[in-house]
């Protein structure tokens, strides 16, 4: 059975995977009990989970420079892995389409966003909803804070419904051949020692763009 046989059921399973994993990982180490396409989705979700919490540390006011530097490097690494696994989700879906013998019809159009990118957004949304729920449960927060959180949660729930419906529609179009899927490579440059000038140029040498960025920071 292809994971694309019933697109809305696949989307429901992905949303539940995201939701339950976030709850579970706050109580134990990250794990991945899934197989096939959902295993890829879960792995990508892990990188978003770890990235979310490193981003929180990066904004802490009581953490030293050495710790912040380590966190920034971890953020770079996790963001690279997050994007790599968005591509793997799309590759998994392409493999499922190929295994099912599904080919796009003549004139089938591309979508501006791939299913992997939408699943990434749903992953981040599940993290946002979990942490907003945490804010509602704070004993030290007043009613104004809770009101703001409830407003944001309502927006998140609408976004979840909209994204879920759009993803199911896209998967249905792909399964029917009405749309075609291509894997778009992120081609991140900052982690590549042959493409990032700070990694291959002699120390102290700056490009015009880097000088402008430094001047902008100095004037802010």
Q: Write down the pLDDT at residue 7.
A: 92
Question: Rounded distance, CA 19 to CA 17, Å?
Answer: 6
**Domain spans of the chain?**
7-208
Question: Rounded distance, CA 107 to CA 13, Å?
Answer: 31
**Nearest residue to 127 via CA among 47, 29, 70:** 47
Question: pLDDT (tens digit, 9 = 90+) per residue, 187-197?
Answer: 666 666 675 66
Q: Write down the pLDDT at residue 3.
A: 75
Question: Rounded distance, CA 100 to CA 6, Å?
Answer: 13
Q: Write down the pLDDT at residue 47.
A: 97
Strand locations in 42-151 (E): 109-110
Q: Write down the pLDDT at residue 203.
A: 62
CB atoms within 10 A of CB 211: 10
Pick out the chain residues at pLDDT < 70: 1, 187-193, 195-220
Question: pLDDT (tens digit, 9 = 90+) per residue, 94-114?
Answer: 999 999 999 999 999 999 999
- What is the reported pTM? 0.85
């Amino acid at each position: 059975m292809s994971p694309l046989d019933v697109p809305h059921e696949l989307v429901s399973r992905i949303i539940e995977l995201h939701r339950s994993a976030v709850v579970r990982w706050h109580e134990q180490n990250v794990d991945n009990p899934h197989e096939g396409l959902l295993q890829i989705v879960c792995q990508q979700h892990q990188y978003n989970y770890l990235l979310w919490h490193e981003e929180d540390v990066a904004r802490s006011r009581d953490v030293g420079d050495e710790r912040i530097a380590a966190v920034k490097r971890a953020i770079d690494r996790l963001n690279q892995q997050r994007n790599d696994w968005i591509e793997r989700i799309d590759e998994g879906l392409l493999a499922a389409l190929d295994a099912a013998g599904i080919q796009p019809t003549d004139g089938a159009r591309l979508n501006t966003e791939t299913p992997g990118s939408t699943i990434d957004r749903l992953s981040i949304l599940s993290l946002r909803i979990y942490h907003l729920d945490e804010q509602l449960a704070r004993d030290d927060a007043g009613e104004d804070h809770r009101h703001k959180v409830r407003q944001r949660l309502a927006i998140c729930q609408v976004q979840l419904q909209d994204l879920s419906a759009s993803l199911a529609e896209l998967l249905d179009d792909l399964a029917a051949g009405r749309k075609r899927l291509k894997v778009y490579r992120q081609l991140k440059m900052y982690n590549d020692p042959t493409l990032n000038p700070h990694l291959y140029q002699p120390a102290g040498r700056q490009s015009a763009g880097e000088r402008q960025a430094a001047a902008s920071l100095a004037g802010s």
